[in-house]
Amino acid sequence: MSIRNLDDLLAEGVSGRRVLVRADLNVPLDKQTGEITDDGRIRAVLPTLSALVSAGAKVVVCSHLGRPKGAPDPQFSLRPVAGRLGELLDAPVHFAEDTVGDSARSTVDALADGQVALLENLRFNKGETSKDDAERGAFADQLATFGDAYVDDAFGAVHRKHASVYDVPARLPHVAGRLVLREVEVLSKLTGQPERPYVVVLGGSKVSDKLAVIEALLPTVDRLLIGGGMCFTFLKAQGHEVGTSLLEKEMVETCGNLIERSGGKIMLPVDVVAADAFAPDAAHDTVPADGIPSHRVGLDIGPETVAGFAAALSQAKTIFWNGPMGVFEMPAFAAGTRGVAEAVAKADAFSVVGGGDSAAAVRALGLDESSFGHISTGGGASLEYLEGKTLPGIAALEK
């Protein structure tokens, strides 16, 4: 990668300099309690932050959380993240109540060498996500006043053309942080010459979200295993009835074409767990994929499918997995995701888990993270990387 990285910045010396770090601290929060349910993204940025702290930088961290609408919204405050980040760094994290206002200014000004501040949610400001270059630029101007240098370690957001990702690096000396560097190194192995067989598992709810990546991957992969909510549109394209399962009607024909063009590479479920309702305690049974009762909703792949997917994965030398196989948050419908995750972990292959949801699933199911080659912090970002798209955040670092 023709990009300067953190080591280059450290070699210049950062002691006493203010370093603005864009992180992706967009962690899942419990809807009732507001507590952080998975701190993987916070832990992922620690190597960069610790290195800067040890080198005596004044570290100013910024991030988005959720999708607030360009104005302050307490449910999306980064305050709980500041607390957790402080625990993990074992040092106080000075929290600014706003992103570029008086609180941010005084918080940054008060930083001593080796101290860390976290600004409030970037998306409390319209300029962050604006499509208007001038509006984004004006916000980037304000943000850039908090740093003498900029580090992008927000891999999960590099596919967004947002002020903090795209416009700030045009205004400050900029480098890639350790996480961004590692993510790009790993993913470039998959787009380069992956060791074969190369098996990809895709899940998640919508085919329309994954269409571009399926198109891009089909020529490259040896097998493409499809589960999750999106499998029902494929099953429909095979001529099966899917009851009340998730179905994207306008995608059925496209899915049919993909199956035809895949030359047998696409593997679909042969059985599914079908339930009376989308509820944790709903009555449910395993049924063949061509026998889903009309009143039932498919909420997981079935055991025979898991066995077939596991067999394909056991042959693989390279694996990429994105998206849960079922509604894993409900124990009754978690077996498919667990089974696939275990098969990925067991395979004697270089395995990459892509995405917020699948990464969270690995941890929520209590699997050993070290049995995977790499757990990406980027969902959309890793998919767009594999599609071969230009990622605005990476492009900005290259300049």
Active site residue 114: no
Rounded to a whole number of angstroms, the minimum distance from the CB of residue 105 to ligand 3PG is: 26
**Is it true that the peptide bond before 197 is cis, omega within 30 degrees of 0?**
yes
Cα-only R_g, the chain: 22
Residue 35, both tokens: 């507590």
Distances (CA, A) of 331 to 143, 154, 346: 44, 31, 22
Convert residues 347-376 into a mask of x (bound to ligand 3PG by CB under 6 A) and - (unbound): ---------x--------------------
* Residue 399 C-beta-side C-alpha neighbours within 13 Å: 13
Q: Does residue 157 interact with ligand 3PG by CB under 6 A?
A: yes
Rounded to a whole number of angstroms, the minimum distance from the CB of residue 356 to ligand 3PG is: 5
Q: Does residue 147 interact with Mg ion by CB under 5 A?
A: no
Q: Does residue 18 interact with ligand 3PG by CB under 6 A?
A: no
Give me the catalytic one of 43, 171, 206, 363.
Answer: 206
Instruction: Return the one option of Mg ion, ligand 3PG, none that residue 26 interacts with (CB less than 5 to 8 A, by type).
Output: ligand 3PG
The closest alpha carbon to 301, from 338, 277, 342, 336, belongs to: 336
Q: DSSP letter at 254?
A: H
Q: DSSP letter at 39?
A: -
Active site residue 236: no
Q: Which of 163, 237 has the CB closer to Mg ion?
A: 163
Active site residue 296: no
Rounded to a whole number of angstroms, the minimum distance from the CB of residue 59 to ligand 3PG is: 20
**Closest residue to ligand 3PG, based on beta-carbon distance:** 26
Q: Does residue 326 interact with ligand 3PG by CB under 6 A?
A: no
Q: Does residue 379 interact with ligand 3PG by CB under 6 A?
A: yes
Q: Does residue 24 interact with ligand 3PG by CB under 6 A?
A: yes
Among residue numbers 50 through 69, which ones bind ligand 3PG (CB under 6 A)? 67
Q: Residue for token digits 């998206």?
A: 323
Q: Which of 26, 107 has the CB closer to ligand 3PG?
A: 26
Instruction: Return the one option of Mg ion, ligand 3PG, none that residue 127 interacts with (CB less than 5 to 8 A, by type).
Output: none
Q: Find the binder of ligand 3PG among 160, 236, 284, 374 (CB under 6 A).
A: 160
Q: Which stretch binds ligand 3PG (CB under 6 A): 96-104, 140-148, 153-161, 260-268?
A: 153-161
Q: Residue for token digits 């991957």?
A: 217
Query: What does the alpha-carbon distance between residue 14 and residue 21 come to, in Å, rounded to a whole number?
Result: 13
Active site residue 126: no
Among residue numbers 321 through 380, which ones bind Mg ion (CB under 5 A)? 380
Do 169 and 194 contact (CB within 8 A), yes or no? no
Instruction: Return the one option of ligand 3PG, Mg ion, none that residue 204 interacts with (CB less than 5 to 8 A, by type).
Output: none
Alpha helix stretches (DSSP H) within the chain: 6-12, 40-44, 46-54, 79-89, 102-109, 126-129, 133-144, 178-191, 207-217, 231-237, 252-261, 303-315, 335-346, 356-364, 380-387, 392-398
Strand ranges across the sheet with 266-267: 266-267, 223-226, 198-202, 318-322, 350-354, 374-375
Among residue numbers 27 through 86, which ones bind Mg ion (CB under 5 A)? none
Residue 109, both tokens: 């000004």
Rounded to a whole number of angstroms, the minimum distance from the CB of residue 297 to ligand 3PG is: 26
The closest alpha carbon to 154, from 126, 184, 124, belongs to: 184
Active-site residue set: 41, 206, 356, 380
Give the interface with ligand 3PG as residue ranges (CB under 6 A). 24, 26, 67, 156-157, 160, 356, 379-380
